[in-house]
Structure 1
Amino acid sequence: MRRTYRRPGRTGSNRKIVIGLVVAAVVGGGIAVGTGLSNASSVCDGMDQAIRNNQEFIATQRANPNSQTEAIVANRQAVIDLINVQKKQAGCSGAVAAPPAQQATTKPPAQQATKPPAQATKPPAQATTPPANNGGGAAGQVVCPGSTVTLSGEGGAPAASSGTFPIGTTLRVRNLDNNKSITVKVASTSGSCILLNNAAFEEVREPGKFLIRRAVIERVG
């Protein structure tokens, strides 16, 4: 009778090792993919927020038009178009819905003045001095606490736009996530506390991010 001898080995152990390596490779790949998707999502979210900021500003301008409304709206629409191009290059999908149209703010109708009776005596007028408007805070004070900072999409030298502070105001923005800061002047109007143009935002942002969630905004002299 012919006997067949089984060659000794560790077939079961080898199979376990191979399966373990495959699982580790799949898990490792999943972590890498997950991290990449997280970074991509942050980039797309930041650009979407920049588009919303500009859309809200356009809606406000159209609801309360003036002699410069058309030029301002055209400029902001050009910024939105540029950000959409950047979104496409970054692989971001989905369009940002335009905000609902705002109603124009109207002044209440003037009330008809009634002539007081002849015997009524008019009280002496008291001079009142309205408090000075300092644009949201004195020099050296932190303003717009809790506000996120994103980009306006505008080019040129480092500058900012704001709907809270008048043109010419100097603001310092510090990114608490990397401790980088920049001091800029408000050069245009927007619908947010502060938006940084491309050059200014590049100085303080974290690589690959288009939104600063933890920022300190300070008005300087």
Structure 2
Amino acid sequence: MRRTYRRPGQTGNKRKIVIGVAVAALVGGGIAVGTGLSNASSVCDGMDAAIRQNQQFIATQRANPNSQTEAVVANRQAVIDLINVQKKQAGCSGAVAAPPAQQATKPPAQQATKPPAQQATTPPAAAQPPANNGGGAAGQVVCAGSTVTLSGEGGAPAASSGTFPIGTTLRVKNLDNNKSITVKVASTSGSCILLNNAAFEEVREPGKFLIRRAVIERVG
């Protein structure tokens, strides 16, 4: 009869190798899942920011109504509904709470003033044109520090703004990828500028719905 001898510790070494491989597989899977969750969170955060901006605009309109309020509010609500559909398709959870109702603001009473006496003045020196940060014709940098997201509206590249009137030409440059686009304000919103879907696609980074580092210029 033949006897088989095992070296001391041989079985223990094999078990350590198997356990080590299993732990490495679990850690690797955790890193992959973590990366996916981070990208998904960035997409959801951008769409939530767009919803908040539109909700804030609606609250401001209802606090200071005019003849266009109902039509504008209906348009903004349609944008919010569209973004919520996009959130559902992207797997984003949680609803964005509506902002508290705002109080109506009254314009200050006008006081009669006497025209100031005219004084002889020297003509001011010619103003220097601002630096061109977005390519093409020089523009005036506005809304410094503002983030840019999408309004959810369709159609040709355009923008909406609560700062500039309809027809104003604005240029947006994404400093993270150096892409820029020049658009006209076609509707009103509750922020400096919101890009519609077509315009946002021209300058955004893949998978992102928020431009955190942007230069916004008023041109023309």
- TM bucket (normalised to shorter chain) is 0.7 to 0.9
Distance 1:30 1:2, change over 3 A: closer
Matched ranges for 1:43-192 at <5 A:
43-104=43-104, 106-107=105-106, 140-192=139-191
Q: Percent identity?
A: 93
CA distance in structure 2 between the aligned counterparts of 1:31 and 1:170, rounded to whole angstroms: 44
Once the 2 structures are TM-superposed, how far is the Cα of residue 137 of structure 1 from its aligned partner? 17
Uncovered stretches (5+) of structure 2, i.e. residues with no partner:
none
Q: How many residues align?
A: 219
Give SS of 2:81's match.
helix
Once the 2 structures are TM-superposed, how far is the Cα of residue 12 of structure 1 from its aligned partner? 3.2
Distance 1:82 1:12, change over 3 A: same
- Which structure's CA Rg is the greater one? 1
User: Is this contact kept in 1: 2:130–2:140, CA < 8 A?
Assistant: no
CA distance in structure 2 between the aligned counterparts of 1:103 and 1:121, rounded to whole angstroms: 44
Distance 1:209 1:109, change over 3 A: closer
User: Is this contact kept in 1: 2:48–2:96, CA < 8 A?
Assistant: yes
- Bigger shift: residues 92-101 or 19-28: 19-28
RMSD: 6.2
TM-score computed with the length of structure 2 as normaliser: 0.82
Uncovered stretches (5+) of structure 1, i.e. residues with no partner:
none
Once the 2 structures are TM-superposed, how far is the Cα of residue 187 of structure 1 from its aligned partner? 0.8
Q: Which runs of 4+ in 1 moved over 4 A?
A: 1-4, 108-125, 127-139
Once the 2 structures are TM-superposed, how far is the Cα of residue 15 of structure 1 from its aligned partner? 2.4
TM-score computed with the length of structure 1 as normaliser: 0.82
Matched ranges for 1:26-37 at <5 A:
26-37=26-37
CA distance in structure 2 between the aligned counterparts of 1:197 and 1:151, rounded to whole angstroms: 5
User: Is this contact kept in 1: 2:134–2:215, CA < 8 A?
Assistant: no
User: Is this contact kept in 2: 1:58–1:73, CA < 8 A?
Assistant: yes
User: Is this contact kept in 2: 1:53–1:192, CA < 8 A?
Assistant: yes
